[in-house]
Structure 1
């Protein structure tokens, strides 16, 4: 029960007491021959918790009918309950609206950050984006075109990976000791620490593994 309801019930009981010249709860308790706790319960909107005998004694002391006494405080309790429900509903609605507002703001912020990220990435690979299709067309027309001439076009991609702190795991053709945490066998078997050759590089971003390097066991012919 909220403070407003308590104060309202307290005042209602006080008004009834004044009508019969009863000064306080102690006097009413004696007049009605009921425990003071019973009167406090009425103030707290708990008249339904009183026994019929206690309600009858209090009604007689206040010179009102039992029905009138019960209706006064039950109606007040009901009104307070309705008021409380309305307040709770309004508070819930306000919270829901605030939550929806925050969701919308977060969505807009996410879209803004994604747009900024895409724009920055496009600016980094702009030269590749513009020149690569022309280079591909040139290769189709002249398959003998030296691939080395195309390597410079890939530098923007390498620059982008560098900005994202993405690094390669080993290099193609490198021979190193097999580590299953960072290496994936393409064929055959190998025990940790045995020599393997890198066929496809792997990638990691700081301490996060993105792709394992694909390797194969070093055979005798490889060693020769």
Structure 2
């Protein structure tokens, strides 16, 4: 009895890998978090036996859509609505659920990254505006030439939604929730001057502004 040979999609997979600079199946397995056994299924044309979650991960690393994966690694052209017949709505729902879950994970990871980065930048965030204010008051200082070099960092934290509570040198009513006294005492509402700016990100207070009574 003659057995039909298993289809081999290794070349197609290698082409997609080369396009995104993935050099080996082991590297693809590690980047996507998908076992090499699952990759072997893909290479043998057994894509319909793979979990949608694994296909989504592979698609993200290879920068192709799920539909393109199905069209590339199946023995016939299958549209998203036809590929599983009556099971298609359930598969679509699972795919959408996974997409939403991965989007939520990305947002959570981005928030963690921003928070850890802001902790590293804490001393710079607090000290730099005061140094920049002092340099701006005296244009003869050599340090004033450095001010434009730090603008990209300022723009980056602004893109993360980080906002200064008030510029250095600003006089405003004392608010113990947002201000930290550096010296003497003050009552809420008393005039104080910002010596070191504080920051908030959305509704979250990162650092209170350091102030002193006027």
TM-score scaled by length of structure 2: 0.36
TM-score scaled by length of structure 1: 0.34
Structure with the higher helix share, 1 or 2:
1
